[in-house]
Amino acid sequence: MTSTVTGDRDHRHDGWDRHERCDGGEGQWANKWVKGHWEWKWDQGAWHDGYQDHHGNRHDGWWGQGHWKPHWVPGHDASHWVTDHWNCHDKW
């Protein structure tokens, strides 16, 4: 497993009541041999939105410790839609 972090951006979200869903990443059509495979890498972390509790008190966002997530490495037959990276998370 690799610990290299590449191509990731961290996002902070403004607004207490904002809910977002991201798609599963970005990719491209490739009707040729691109020599790839999936590997896991360590994502440095994720910013969690602030929230307002049932007493009406607002709480600041916080920085998550991180997690493993897959990324695309050259070495696979990709004659279909390939997701080349995952950089989104559900925000609820």
Question: Rounded distance, CA 76 to CA 19, Å?
Answer: 35
- Would you say residue 64 has pLDDT above 50? yes
Tokens of 3: 């610990």
- Band of residue 18 on the pLDDT scale cut at 50, 70, 90: very low
For position 6, what pLDDT does the model report?
40
Average pLDDT over the chain, rounded to an integer: 54
* Average pLDDT rounded to a whole number, residues 62-71: 69
For position 40, what pLDDT does the model report?
72
- Lowest mean pLDDT of 7-11, 45-49, 68-72, name the range: 7-11
Question: Rounded distance, CA 4 to CA 43, Å?
Answer: 8
Tokens of 74: 């050259």
Contact in structure between 91 and 13 (CB atoms under 8 Å): yes
Question: Rounded distance, CA 58 to CA 71, Å?
Answer: 35
The whole-model pTM stands at 0.23
Read off the pLDDT of residues 20-61 as tens digits, 9 standing for 90 and up. 334 444 454 444 444 566 777 776 766 667 677 777 777 776
